Structure 1
Amino acid sequence: MGDPKRLTSKYSGPRHPWIKTRIEEEKKLTAEYGLKNKKEIYKATSKLKKYADQAKKLIAATGKQSELEKTQLINKLNRLGLVSKTAQLDDVLSLTVRDLLDRRLQTILHKKGYARTTKQARQFITHGHIIINNKPLTIPSYLVTLAEEPSIQFIEKSSLISTEHPERKFEKIKTAEKPEKKPTRKKKRKKKNKKQDKK
């Protein structure tokens, strides 16, 4: 037997873990996108950094090979819905974590109205209720391409396929009627004064 393969981490955490503004932003992202933990943010950040590093190298490079790699990078990000077909490498550098999180299967499922919340969308995916191109997918962090997006649906055997399923019904929030404001002491005094004047 050879030496065991050393597993390398797919992401790198923050250099300064105790920065208040970053911690608050991570909390917002975790709640908004229904993330399991902050590792999912770090993975997205690391993926963006790879794209940015590649773009920086290509900006500095010249020649046919660099032009080919530039086209390949733009096309790849365009398929994921992150940039347009006519995008430049500078557009790659301006991508944010939110841009990447918006392309997650979990987020798209919620935006399409298949789930009431992003957390519920995560549950539907992990429990095997969702298919893409007729293939079941149980990975909430899967980045959906523009071509795949229209094929997202519930598996036929799933009870959630019915829009009448209680888990898919959106409750209408009733707005409470505002109570009538009671007249203040000043208003009461004015009314009394008016009555006295009439007399």
Structure 2
Amino acid sequence: MDHASHWNGRFAGKDYLFGTEPNLFLTQQAARLPAMGNVLCVADGEGRNGVCLAAQGHHVTSIDIAEAGLAKARKLAQERGVSLGLQQADLAAWDWPEDGFDAVVAIFIQFADPALRARIFAGMQRATRPGGLILLQGYRPEQIAYDTGGPSLPDNLYNEDMLREAFTGWDIKHLAVHDSVIEEGPGHSGMSALIDLVARKPA
């Protein structure tokens, strides 16, 4: 099954797979963003994070491969009374705009194997303007034992050394490893092995 079919299937239900409330790490770090910034939410699924940032006054573009996810993101934005730019995008082929955003947000985008992940990270870095931020949260390999969400493939998971290498030359403002309980709909529920990154692109 291709990625689009897989995620359209996961988002097909009436309920929101990962809930409608924003990711906690994102809410904790959102104060770092410039007021009314241009923000890209990568693989934003059903839109919970993009809608949150739009409600804070940011100009948000949410991209995802799944039409079903984008439709639910559009519905959520309408219910919350915010404007959200939506674009269907296959990250394996998307043309990342150069220096297009004040911040790029990537929350649990671990569908990518190492080769695709390297292309996505390079694209995220390309899309961030000088002085802009990348905010990223993902699962560590220990997550497999918890079995509370995320991929089952160890190669798709993150560790501290890998993220430091991937963002060599960037100013790492925050890099934290922690085990925490998260409740994000039925898709992410329970104790989780997490890693958080905030990195600033050199001016």
| Greater strand content | 2
Using structure 2 for the length normalisation, give the TM-score.
Answer: 0.22
Which has more radius of gyration?
A: 1
Q: Which structure's relative contact order is higher, taking Cα pairs within 8 Å and 6+ residues apart?
A: 2
